[in-house]
Amino acid sequence: MKRVCMISQSGYNDPRVRRQAQALADAGYEVDILGTSMVKGEDKLIKSGSITFFGIIIKQRHESIIRYGLHSFHFFFKVLLKLQYLSLLRRYDLIQVHNMPEYHVFTAIFQKFAGIPIVLDLHDLTPELFECKWANKKNASILNIVKYVERISCSFANKLITVNSVCKDNLEIRGIAGEKITLVLNTPNQKIFKHDPGREYRIISNGAKLIYHGTVGERFGLHIAVEAMKYLNEKIPGSILTIYGQYDRSYRIYLEELIKKFNLEENIFLKGTHSQEIIYGMIKESDFGIVPYTDNLYMNLCLSTKMFEYNASLLPVVASRLKAPSMIFGDDSIGFITPDKPIELAEKVIELCCDPAKRKAMAASAYTIIQSISGQIMSARYLNLIESTINRN
């Protein structure tokens, strides 16, 4: 049986890591995942069939550059040691490293010298995210380092994976060979996010239910959604927005202050992270999925997994009109709005509340589109890459 080790500075419920691990397991591989765990006392181990997750105990990450750097260095050295130990026992056929950050690919430096192929999966492009979160004159030299680290990390890996054609284009512009890159989109796990034939589309005159799940930071635009709820409740009273996810600490405080400012304590609820199965249950109870991303260099690269998960569940979506999603969806499938415009967000939801036929047609159109880039198609593309990379060595 062939064995793959995945390294990811995220937990077991990272959707992309979990989806790829399951695809490998279904194809007969044994998969070990080295990721972070917040459990105190000892490393957390999760066993699921031929997938084993080894939790590396790391304190909660922080928002500053220095604290994030310390967090990622801590993870790097613990994984470097753990990987050497496991490699002696397991004899891996391939190592896959998920960014961020890219330099974690060097935890497999000894495996690379031993001839084991290395795949680097670029979930996000770090230079663009750095510019979005921390760009200023003071950090200009750090940005140059970030770009250099990305370049040498990509050179070190045998093969690269990224999430959409916009990211691939940017990598090629920075001198990374296009033939080395495979596109594997973040499509939903349709064993969990299922077509819901029982969903009803009716006129909504009160109590519209909106949902967002995923990372909660300023760039994801939830402050825009909070302000939009003020206008929405003037026309559709009793409407509710529930936000599930992992929060930037200072941003959560800011959202709480906004909610209080607009007297929306009974309309907006900030919840924590949950498994995909639980999130699907919440989607079934909702009327809209919202993706109110802000307009900046990094967010224009993002093709939201949550959007696909809403689409797969026949949940109508209202989203910011940004570059990556606009390359796949049209106005007949997504309720696109101008980014950073809370009134426009509210008006789009109100419009769709009053037009159930349009909501139903949008949901059906989006569902048709994601079938052409379905999880099964992406899994097959991913498996072909892994198998061919192993066989080439």
pLDDT digits (tens, 9 = 90+) for 206-253: 999 999 999 999 999 999 999 999 999 999 999 999 999 989 889 999
Q: Considering only CA atoms, which of 309, 346, 311 is closest in space to residue 225?
A: 346
> What's the pLDDT tens digit per position in 46-99?
888 999 999 987 665 555 777 778 889 999 999 999 999 999 999 999 999 999
Q: Are residues 242 and 103 in the same domain?
A: no
* 27 falls within a domain: yes
In a domain, 21, yes or no: yes
CATH number for the domain harbouring residue 295: 3.40.50.2000
What tokens were used for 143? Answer: 């940005």
Nearest Cα to Cα of residue 279 among 243, 247, 254: 243
CA distance 27 to 268: 43
116 versus 276: which is more confidently predicted? 116
Radius of gyration over alpha carbons of the chain, in Å? 21
Residues 11 and 125 in one domain: yes
**Rounded mean pLDDT of the chain?**
92
Rounded Cα distance, 315 and 292, in Å: 16
Upper half-sphere CA count for residue 249 (Cβ side, 13 Å): 5
Q: What is the DSSP string of 45-104?
A: EEEETTEEEEEEE-PPP-SSHHHHHHHHHHHHHHHHHHHHHHHHHH--SEEEEEPSSGGG
Query: The domain containing residue 344 runs over which residues?
Result: 209-371
| Cα dihedral 123, 248, 52, 73 sign | positive
Question: 371 Cβ partners below 8 Å, 6+ apart?
Answer: none
Please say if the pLDDT value at position 42 is more than 50. Answer: no
Q: Coil, strand or helix: which one is 189?
A: coil
Claim to verify: residue 245 and residue 383 sit in the same structural domain:
no
Q: Mean pLDDT over residues 110-135, rounded? A: 90
Count of domains observed in the chain: 2
Structural domain includes residue 191: no
Say yes or no: 218 and 175 in one domain. no
CA distance 227 to 113: 54
DSSP bridge partners of 335: 318
* pLDDT above 60 for 262: yes
Within a domain: 196: no
Taking residues 297-311, what's their average pLDDT?
90
The reply to whether 247 and 105 lie within a common domain is no
Quick check: 187 pLDDT over 80?
yes
Instruction: Write the DSSP symbol of residue 184.
Output: -
Q: Tell me if 55 is assigned to some domain.
A: yes
Q: Does 277 reside within a domain?
A: yes
Q: What are phi and psi of 95, to 5 degrees?
A: -115, 130
